[in-house]
Structures are given as structure tokens and as C-alpha cells.
Chain A
Amino acid sequence: MQLDWSSIPRASNALWEGFQFSISLTAFAALAGIILGTLLAMARLSSIKPLSMIASGYVNIFRSTPLVIVIYWFYVVLPFIIGRPIGAEHSAYVTFAIFEAAYFCEIMRAGIQSIPKGQVYAGSALGFTYGQNMRYIILPQAFRNVVPLLLTQTIILFQDTSLVYVLGATDLFGAADKIAHRDNTLLEMYVTVAVIYFVISFFLSRLVKHLHSKIAIIR
């Protein structure tokens, strides 16, 4: 078997572009997913029955469905809704934000529930409204408690972005796959992306672990 590693430098521009898409998709989905997920978590914990039912339905549906099928479903449904074709990449942004919100919701919910009830009473006793209680007392504490979990989910999300392959989008993996077939360098390309994904995920997860122990000390 003849390996041709000289193909890697030639491919580096394309890989870099794919990598940038992977990162921006990850960042956007994490940010939007956390905001949407926090709102969903508040809805799930709400005493208004229909609201909490809708929120838990949302979460359960997305958590029971394979990501590839969600990616594909939005890709065929979004054009129907907006009335014109939508590119693979734009579709992916929308899909990942909506999909990840279900996972971030569960993390935020655990975070909110980890705050003792006495904190809510204390806030209410000071005259805070529900919104003020959330904004100033509950969410800041909840958020700090779950930062490691949110980051861990983001690392998983980063790996999951490779599934935009199903739309033929050019993320890191997609770029590698396209070059692999163009230059007939399957081995070199697949091994390279595997190493890139591993190095990034591994070091980020180390970082999260370190952060986790730091937060544990502060508490």
C-alpha cells in the first residue's frame, strides 16, 4: 500500500475552509441552542400545563430522532415553508440550532433544578417577580453549575456537525471526502480528519475537565 502524504499540504486550503464551516456551525448552534434551550427549560418547568407539555414534546421528539434524519427532514421541509430553495449550509444552521436546543434544554433544566427552592423563596420575599428571580438569581447560578456540561455537549455537537455529509455540505469531513475522491487519496484524507477531530475534541474535553475541578472548588 502506497501512502501519499504529500497530498495533505495541497489539500490544506480546502480542508481549512471546511474546518471554518464546521466551527462556525458549531458556534452558531451552541449559542442559539443554549438560548433556545434555556427558554425551553423554563417552559418545561413552568406551572402552565400546556406550555410545559409543548416544551417536553419538543424535547422528546428531537431526542428520539436520529440527527441525520432531522438534518434531512429540515432540508426537504424548509424550502416548502419559505417557498424557495435553501442551500445545504443554511439548512444546517437552522437544523442544528433547533435540534441542539432539545439537548441544551435538558442540561439547563437540570441546572435550574439544582438550585435550592429556598433561593426562589428568598427572591420572592424580596419582592422579585418570576422574571426577576430567573434573571438575577436562578439562571446565573444554574448557568455556572452547568458550564462544564454545556461545553461537553458542544464538543459532541462539534463531532456531530460531520453528519452534514448527508446533505453533501462541505464541512471539514465533507471537504476531506471530496478531495479524497478527486485525488484518489481516501486513506490519507480519512486518517487526517480523524486525527484533527480527535486532537480538537480530546484537548477541549481535557480543558472542560480542568474547568470542572476549578468550579467544584469555588462551590
Chain B
Amino acid sequence: MSQYQWDWLVIFENVTDTDEFYYQWLISGLGWTLLIALSAWVIALILGTIIGTARTLPNKFVAGIATAYVELFRNIPLIVQLFMWFFVLPEMVPTNIGNWMKQDMPHPGIITSIIGLGLFTAARVAEQIRTGILALPRGQKNAGLALGLTLAQTYRHVLLPMAFRVVIPPLTSEFMSIFKNSAVAYSITATELFFQMKQITGDYKPANQIEVVTIVGLIYILVAFSANRIMTFIERRVQVPGYISGGK
């Protein structure tokens, strides 16, 4: 170990016996990482908003189902959830669908990761949305209703627009998390960044693991940092004049 041969340029080397380069693998992995995270984020935002809103509704039955969803998806580790979708679900559904999932579905690892990560993150987004709605002054709902808006219109025009603004800071951390969590997708064969890193360090360049892992770690930090900047930008854009968050 004492004679470690440092080679930080290892990722620019040719892959043995091919005309590809390691950095190309990493770029391709990064592309899949971004695709998985962003697609899952769309699912998480839409579903999370619906579920978070449902938890605040007066209808006990609807609110109960939404609560059950959140508890279920929050209390099982992500990797176990992904394994459930990838290995268990195809056995649970009718045989012909199961066979299609196992044999003919394009990019099974990627698709399953997007859905699994999206459903997982939706539970967390739902909690933020719910907290955001409950944080609004109670009179806001009354004011909307008193004007003759229906409950749905009150949510659509009064409560949700403000709730979204209130939850942007906590959503920022969820947005960063979804890129980080997407790395777990490697375990169900999604060829994203971490998967590529494991390929390189495991089978191809076991002598330069530290460099490759460090470089990939830095790429992830850069992605998380960019995600944070994007959300801060959005937060500034939608800021309500004269309204200090946490104030009245």
C-alpha cells in the first residue's frame, strides 16, 4: 500500500482493447444520473403535491390513504424499495406482464429506478407540502371560502401558491437528495454514474480506485451544488414582495 502509484489522469485512459475512454463512461453515467433524478423529481412533485394536499383535506378517508402512503414509503429503505419493484413486483403481477417486465421492457433498471425513486421521494415531498399548507394562517382558507371560492378553488388559487413558496427551502434539500439517492439505482443495474464508477474501479482499474472514486464524488458534489443554485434562483424569482417567510 505504501507504494501507491497516483494517476489522476486515469479517467482519460483508453479502455483496454477498445477505442473508448473511461471519461466517456462517466459522462454517459452522469447523463443517466441526471435523467433518472429529474424524471423521478417530476413524479415526486406531482404525486407529492397530491398526497400532501390530500392529507390536509377534511375528508378522513382520503387523508387516511394519503397518510398510509407516506408512512409506507418513508419507513422502508430506498434500496429495499428498489429491490421490491425490480425483483418482487414482476413475480406478483400476471405472468405475461411479469415476463414482459423481465424480458422486453426497455432499460428495465433505468425505468424501475425512475418510478421507484419518484414514489419514494413523493412521500417526502408530500410531508413538506402538508407542513407548508398547515403553516399558512388559518384565516386564509376562510377568506377564500368567504369569497365564494369552492374548496378546490381555494386550494388552487390561495393555499397552494403560498404553500409552494413556503416549502421551497425544504424542497431544495429534497431536490439535492434525489440526485444523491439516484446513486442507489446502481444496485438494480441502472447504468448511472455510480454504476460506471464501480465498473471502472472493480474490473478495469483496481489499482487507481482512490482517484476514480474521488473524481466521481466531486462530480456528485458539483451536481448537488448546481441543484442547490437552481432552487435558490427559483426561490428568488417567486419571492413575494413584502412577505418575509415565517412572518404573518
Q: Is A193 an interface residue (CB 8 A)?
A: yes
Tell which of B91, B180, B224 touches A187, judged by Cβ atoms closer than 8 Å. B91
CB-contact partner of A80 in B180, B210, B221, under 8 A: B210
B20-28, B69-77, B153-161 - the one binding chain A:
B69-77
* A77 interfacial contact with B, CB 8 Å: yes
**B213-A73 in contact (CB<8A):** yes
Query: Is A202's beta carbon under 8 Å from chain B?
Result: yes
- Which secondary structure dominates chain B's binding surface? helix
Contacts of A159 in B (CB 8 A): 75-78
CA distance A159 to B75 in the complex (A): 8
Contacts A80-B1, A197-B80, A205-B75 given: A65-B220 contact, CB under 8 Å?
Answer: yes
- B180 contacts A67, C-beta separation under 8 Å: yes
Q: Indicate with 1 or 0, residue by residue over A178-219, a CB within 8 angstroms of chain B CB atoms.
A: 000000001100110110011001100100000000000000
Complex contact B76–A198 (CB within 8 A)? yes
Q: Bound complex: CA of A202 vs CA of B73, how far in Å? A: 10
Inter-chain contact B80/A76, CB cutoff 8 Å: no
The docked-state distance in angstroms from the alpha carbon of A193 to that of B75 is: 12
Query: What is the total number of residues of chain A having a CB less than 8 Å from a CB of chain B?
Result: 36
Q: Is B176 an interface residue (CB 8 A)?
A: yes
**For the complex, what is the distance from the CA of A63 to the CA of B224, rounded to whole Å?**
9
CB atoms of B225 and A68 under 8 A apart: no
Interface digits, B180-201 against A, CB 8 Å rule (1 contact, 0 not)? 1111101100000010011001
A79 CB within 8 Å of chain B: yes
B139 → A minimal CB distance (Å):
24
Interface residue B79 (Cβ < 8 Å from any Cβ of A): yes
Question: How many whole Å from A176's CB to the nearest CB in chain B?
Answer: 9
Q: Are B80 and A193 in contact (CB under 8 A)?
A: yes
The answer to whether A190 touches B221 (Cβ under 8 A) is no
- The closest CB in chain B to the CB of A191 belongs to B88
Interface residues, chain B, with chain A CB atoms under 8 Å away: 1-2, 4, 71-72, 74-81, 83-84, 87-88, 91-92, 176, 179-184, 186-187, 194, 197-198, 201, 209-210, 213-214, 216-217, 220-221, 224-225, 228
What are 16 pairs between A and B in contact, CB < 8 Å? A1-B91, A61-B221, A64-B176, A65-B220, A68-B183, A68-B194, A69-B217, A72-B198, A72-B213, A76-B201, A77-B213, A162-B79, A186-B88, A187-B87, A190-B88, A191-B88
Known contacts A66-B184, A202-B71; 16 further A-B pairs (Cβ under 8 A): A64-B228, A66-B179, A66-B181, A66-B182, A66-B220, A69-B194, A83-B2, A159-B76, A159-B78, A163-B184, A165-B79, A173-B77, A190-B87, A190-B88, A191-B88, A194-B84
